Structure 1
């Protein structure tokens, strides 16, 4: 017999159906022979005669094994006759390689299991917090060393990061604060006009922006763009083993990477907060002028008379704390990056989420503290 394509003869008997395969049953024949095997009804046992099979590859073996599984699901058996030893071994290997569905349902988690999972998560969060505290300690130690040995301080890196963190963030921060001021003035005008207290919209804008929204929204924007940038930069260096090379050359990664970045945030975030305050007040004043006919002079007079300097200080005193949180979270996530791009993307995303969440929690703590002390 020539090395011909597979031919399948069907002999219907009782109680089994007999299939005789002749020729090759390989990948090239799957369009025809494979369709014939898939069309076999699973309503009775099947006997497969392979005495005249000339060639079989994994594709053909997969078709036979699939037929056997389909018959077994209906409660019938597939009997193979006159198969060569190499054919039997191939069928066994392909059947063993097929994925298996989970035969046992997952056990229900008991209360101790849930408590164990919760405890592990809490312990993991505590371990992460300890690592971030360690990075903050490294920053303070290396910054103190730089003050004692000024020649070791990387002024060029600090200026570069100040530009990236501060100068390049000015447009988006100013635009955001301006729009927030516009929205506050517009919404405040709609509500206060009902009571004839339109002039108090100035107090609403000033207190909201100076105490909370100006520095908080600025920190959120900086957390989104800077924490991710720190993680991506340090994580890429870790992936390329540049940090290990620094240690080999006797360079301290904390002094080279952490100090310039966190210090740049400490210097620039208060300045960005001031810019946000000015832009927010300008937007609120403009909208108050357009909707309530409150002239700029009246707006400034009411702003000076009704707003205390404490409101400005309350907002700006949060900036260093937010800067440290954002810088530490970004640097920690960068040092946690593994050796693949998936780890870099995962840590970058988690750094943004963690930094924004930590900033909001810190702002809530500050608000409670200032309320308790009466500021």
Structure 2
């Protein structure tokens, strides 16, 4: 004889705001509760036969709403306690600071982030120097072809824009200087103004800014795309050092080409200033050249060009670091590319200001 299946049965009644439940209180009978059950302030449970975790979770929720539970035996109460402990606890977030506290917190976070960035850039500078030392010890590991390619990309292809910008800056300097010096009858000193400004500061600074905007973004984009495609991980798998393959040729190419671009910038700026002086002031090219050679010390050229290798290292390290920080998505690539340009230009201007203070203290 086959036993007939026993279906769970629940009896629930509401009396004077109290809910009395008897029978099988399980997941299968929860839907049998009367419509006003959720509003009951007292729940009588002394006649329960079966009781499972679904019912215990319901009772735990009603208990949080202020209902009083009565009649549970020890086993049922233990199950209810277990369900209470297993329920997720809402995370209580501390209130966000307001006013001056918020300003201090935001400033502190930015300061810590900036110090972390400086620490990472110092690490990449050390990695470049280590790779350079390794290349000097083992020249066979150095990729000369890669160096030549990056010299062409960062140097030769930048000559037109650098020469044009410097030429126009020389024109502007001559025009503005002449406009002011005419009031004092000292137009001839516009040659000194152009020579010192171009050779000492503006020639190499503008060149570095142009290269920072052009090359830092290119370095970040090229290395970042390799990072997205996991090509750098593949290099490591093949036993290739990314510092030797990627970092060293790019930074070294900048160190070689930036002083050359600085010289081209100086010449273009002087040509532009001399042309504008001839047109606006009537200073002939011969007179301009004479004043330039007679009154301009060679130390101004030295002060300008000695900054070039430092600017090159700054731009190269920042661009390569940003490329290595690119994540797996295109949004990260775009953010790091724009960020590297901003950081490189800012760092170049800060370095130029420090150089100016340093040479001023030396009397150069």
Given the two structures, how large is their TM-score scaled by the length of structure 1?
0.71
Say which SS state the counterpart of residue 240 (structure 2) adopts. Answer: coil
1:250 aligns with 2:211: no
Structure-2 residue corresponding to 1:222 = 211
State the alpha-carbon separation in 2 of the partners of residues 363 and 109 from structure 1: 38
**Alpha carbons of structure 1 residues 340 and 307: separation in structure 2 relative to 1, 3 Å:** same
Counterparts in 2 of 1:64-103, with a 5 A limit?
none
1:292 aligns with 2:266: no
* Unaligned residue ranges in structure 2 (runs of 5+): 1-94
1:272 aligns with 2:261: yes
Deviation at 1:272, TM superposition (A): 0.1
Structure-2 residue corresponding to 1:305 = 294
Picking from 312, 315, 329, the partner of 1:323 is 312
State the alpha-carbon separation in 1 of the partners of residues 223 and 250 from structure 2: 11
* Unaligned residue ranges in structure 1 (runs of 5+): 1-105
Structure-2 residue corresponding to 1:143 = 132
Say which SS state the counterpart of residue 337 (structure 1) adopts. Answer: coil
State the alpha-carbon separation in 1 of the partners of residues 284 and 239 from structure 2: 63
Deviation at 1:113, TM superposition (A): 4.0
State the alpha-carbon separation in 2 of the partners of residues 113 and 290 from structure 1: 58
Say which SS state the counterpart of residue 250 (structure 1) adopts. Answer: coil
State the alpha-carbon separation in 2 of the partners of residues 311 and 123 from structure 1: 38
Counterparts in 2 of 1:5-84, with a 5 A limit?
none
1:373 aligns with 2:359: no
What's the RMSD between the two structures over aligned residues? 1.1
Structure-2 residue corresponding to 1:170 = 159
State the alpha-carbon separation in 1 of the partners of residues 295 and 99 from structure 2: 59
1:125 aligns with 2:98: no
Say which SS state the counterpart of residue 175 (structure 2) adopts. Answer: helix
State the alpha-carbon separation in 1 of the partners of residues 272 and 99 from structure 2: 56
State the alpha-carbon separation in 1 of the partners of residues 317 and 342 from structure 2: 13
After superposing on structure 2, the runs of 4+ consecutive aligned residues of structure 1 that deviate more than 3 Å are 110-114
**Alpha carbons of structure 1 residues 144 and 108: separation in structure 2 relative to 1, 3 Å:** closer
1:237 aligns with 2:226: yes
Say which SS state the counterpart of residue 158 (structure 1) adopts. Answer: helix
State the alpha-carbon separation in 1 of the partners of residues 103 and 266 from structure 2: 47
Structure-2 residue corresponding to 1:210 = 199
Deviation at 1:271, TM superposition (A): 0.2
1:194-221 deviations in Å (ceiling 9; x for gaps): 1111100000000000000000000000
Structure-2 residue corresponding to 1:154 = 143
Say which SS state the counterpart of residue 171 (structure 1) adopts. Answer: helix
1:356 aligns with 2:345: yes
Deviation at 1:120, TM superposition (A): 2.0
Based on CA coordinates, which of the two structures has the bigger radius of gyration? 2
1:57-98 deviations in Å (ceiling 9; x for gaps): xxxxxxxxxxxxxxxxxxxxxxxxxxxxxxxxxxxxxxxxxx
Structure-2 residue corresponding to 1:58 = none
Deviation at 1:321, TM superposition (A): 0.7
Picking from 333, 352, 358, the partner of 1:344 is 333
Structure-2 residue corresponding to 1:4 = none
Deviation at 1:112, TM superposition (A): 3.8
Structure-1 residue corresponding to 2:9 = none
Deviation at 1:107, TM superposition (A): 5.5
Deviation at 1:276, TM superposition (A): 0.2
Deviation at 1:114, TM superposition (A): 3.2
State the alpha-carbon separation in 2 of the partners of residues 269 and 238 from structure 1: 27
Say which SS state the counterpart of residue 279 (structure 1) adopts. Answer: helix
